[in-house]
Amino acid sequence: MDIKHHESGHKGLFYYKKDTHHIAELSYTVAEDEHIVLEHTSVVEEFRGQGLGKSLIYYAVEYVRQNNLEILPKCPYAKSVFRRYPDLQDVISKE
């Protein structure tokens, strides 16, 4: 499974899809054209415990690094991932 990315205006979504259904997703909003606010992470119950949520966070990190952006993690799950993995600290907004 590959991670997909959909953007529409100031909203976006990183997600995994199986057949026609999203099985894991990370939604965000672009703020001030320099930050993405990670709002919500969800994984369908059947697919929990497989690291899909964490891999979506890492994908978002690579996305912001490539686009010279910063992350504001508002989602509780995203906040917990950032606390546990010091290699992600460089993309967190200081604001």
Between CA 42 and CA 48 the distance in angstroms is: 9
pLDDT digits (tens, 9 = 90+) for 25-49: 999 999 987 899 999 999 999 999 9
1, pLDDT greater than 90: no
pTM: 0.93
Q: At the topology level of CATH, where does 3-87 sit? A: Aminopeptidase (3.40.630)
Q: Domain segments of the chain: what residues?
A: 3-87
Q: How many Cβ atoms are within 10 Å of 10's Cβ, its own excluded?
A: 13
The 10 Å CB-count burial string (b at 16+, else e) for 47-56 is eeeeebbbbb
Asked if 32 and 38 count as a contact pair (C-beta separation under 8 A), the reply is: no
Mean pLDDT of the chain: 94
pLDDT at position 13, please?
Answer: 97
